[in-house]
Structure 1
Amino acid sequence: MQTKLDDRYGRTALPWRRRAFWIGVAVFAVAAIAYLVWITLQNSLDDISIAETGYLVVDERAVTVSFQATPPSGARFACAIQALDEDFGVVGWRVVEYGPFPDTTRSFTERVPTLALATTGTVKECWTI
């Protein structure tokens, strides 16, 4: 009588293969979530915050770009700085490397040589090296 009720209401024990499958799925899910959390934290620790503070078109052959960078403490980093024309075409490009600094936020002004008259200068991207 009890086995009939157990079968009817689904209270039977799972076969070992089905139980092993669900344990494997749970372990995989936990490992995948842990990996995603680790990658997210690792990427956020390497981020460099950039705040552009201005630019100055010097002449037809140069533009200066001013910005503040906040890298991870003591990290070496590089920035790609570009000069753009009125159609947003790149007319100048420079990659500058910076040594580790004890300060967290530093101000920089970089001169970018251009091939034609630029109308703006900007920091394209910064990364740790």
Structure 2
Amino acid sequence: MTSPTSPPAGRYGRSSSPARSIWIIASVSVLAFFLWVTWVFSTDPTTGIEWVAFESTGGETTASVKFQISAPPGTPVTCALRTVDASMGTNGWTVKSYPASDQFTTQYSETIKAVSEVSGIDVYRCWREDR
């Protein structure tokens, strides 16, 4: 009967050391932390939108919306507004610029004309013009 023999030394390469694994995990953790910090500081929580009212009567191709924009005083803001039809497809679109205000929150009202019957309207996105 034959006894099992061990493979020759070095046949499968050297085994990784625990210190190397620790360095890899630490490096990935530090990189993830810096990416997270960059993401947190690149977002702007000081600009926001709040919808106040939506007006549209059935069968019309126009809709009105009242909304509030929150932005630091002295900051001009631009907003994209859109209307949607019954299948939630965009059927009207406009981009409006609002001048800088001396207040943090200002209220606006807009009316948008669409190409077909309007089922809804929203302020799609707002951004600060100083960027």
Question: Do they superpose with TM above 0.5?
Answer: yes
Counterpart for residue 57 of structure 1: 56
Q: 1:61 to 1:105 in 2, by over 3 A?
A: same
Separation in 1 of the partners of 2:35 and 2:75?
24
RMSD (Å) for aligned C-alpha atoms: 2.8
List gaps (5 residues or longer) in structure 1: 1-25
1:91 aligns with 2:91: yes
Is this contact kept in 1: 2:68–2:105, CA < 8 A? yes
Separation in 1 of the partners of 2:85 and 2:38?
41
What's the TM-score once normalised by structure 2's chain length?
A: 0.66
Counting matched residue pairs gives 111
Counterpart for residue 120 of structure 1: 120
Q: 1:50 to 1:92 in 2, by over 3 A?
A: same
Counterpart for residue 73 of structure 1: 73
CA displacement 1:14-35 (0-9 Å, x = unmatched)? xxxxxxxxxxxx8997687456
CA displacement 1:69-128 (0-9 Å, x = unmatched)? 101232111111111111111111111111111100011111111111101111111111
Separation in 2 of the partners of 1:74 and 1:29?
40
- Greater helix share, structure number: 1
Is this contact kept in 1: 2:50–2:67, CA < 8 A? yes
List gaps (5 residues or longer) in structure 2: 1-25
Is this contact kept in 1: 2:72–2:103, CA < 8 A? no
